[in-house]
């Protein structure tokens, strides 16, 4: 037998009904049109992001792999380090990325979230790499509206050097709110 909950139908408040847990979950799932994704670079797979020019943003390198997704996908080809919204309806979305990054000691880096290659206001963080063996860690987040085919990425730039950097951990997730 299924677990039951007793409740009142909002359209007919005089009648109590028995609901199964499964029926409530399926109602909740069908009522939300929102999408989600969690993608990360495979553990142990580090990729160097070449920095050819100081004070210029470059896409953080690494091949993202999706663990779960609905209405989102990891890009293909040159976009394997980005996530792409494949829904058709506009969605208010919570976007979070965590990154651990290595490079030469005391390298100062700006890192930010981008949508369609435009920096998302308020997401830029400045970090300093503490040593060649200890990565700097950063968490970026924003709530932003996405439309069909919007591309979300993480980009880095060094402030006063052309030191290449390496992401030892790169995760990005998006969830409709």
List per-residue pLDDT tens for the chain, 177 residues long: 455 556 655 555 566 666 666 655 555 444 445 788 899 887 667 789 999 999 999 999 989 999 889 999 999 988 999 999 999 999 999 999 999 999 999 999 999 999 999 999 999 999 999 999 999 999 999 999 999 999 999 999 999 899 999 999 899 999 998
Tokens 């199964």, located at residue: 20
Q: What is the pTM of this model?
A: 0.80
C-alpha closest to that of 119 among 147, 88, 152, 80: 152
Q: Which two tokens stand for residue 27?
A: 């109602």
153 in Cβ contact with 58 (< 8 Å)? no
Q: Rounded CA gap, 89 and 146, in Å?
A: 9
pLDDT score at 18: 66
């Amino acid at each position: 037998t299924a677990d039951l909950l007793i409740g009142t139908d909002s359209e007919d408040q005089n009648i109590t009904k028995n609901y199964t847990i499964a029926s409530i979950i399926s109602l909740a799932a069908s009522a939300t049109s929102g999408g989600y994704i969690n993608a990360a670079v495979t553990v142990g797979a580090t990729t160097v992001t070449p920095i050819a020019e100081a004070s210029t943003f470059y896409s953080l390198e690494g091949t993202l792999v999706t663990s779960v997704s609905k209405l989102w996908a990891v890009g293909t080809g040159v976009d394997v380090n980005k996530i792409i919204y494949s829904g058709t309806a506009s969605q208010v979305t919570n976007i979070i990325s965590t990154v651990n990054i290595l490079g030469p000691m005391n390298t100062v880096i700006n890192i930010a979230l981008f949508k369609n290659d435009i920096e998302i206001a308020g997401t830029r963080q400045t970090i300093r790499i503490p040593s060649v063996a200890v990565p700097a860690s950063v968490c970026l987040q924003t709530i932003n509206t996405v439309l069909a085919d919007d591309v979300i990425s993480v980009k880095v730039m060094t402030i006063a050097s052309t030191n290449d950097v390496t992401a030892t951990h790169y995760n990005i997730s998006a969830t409709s709110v």
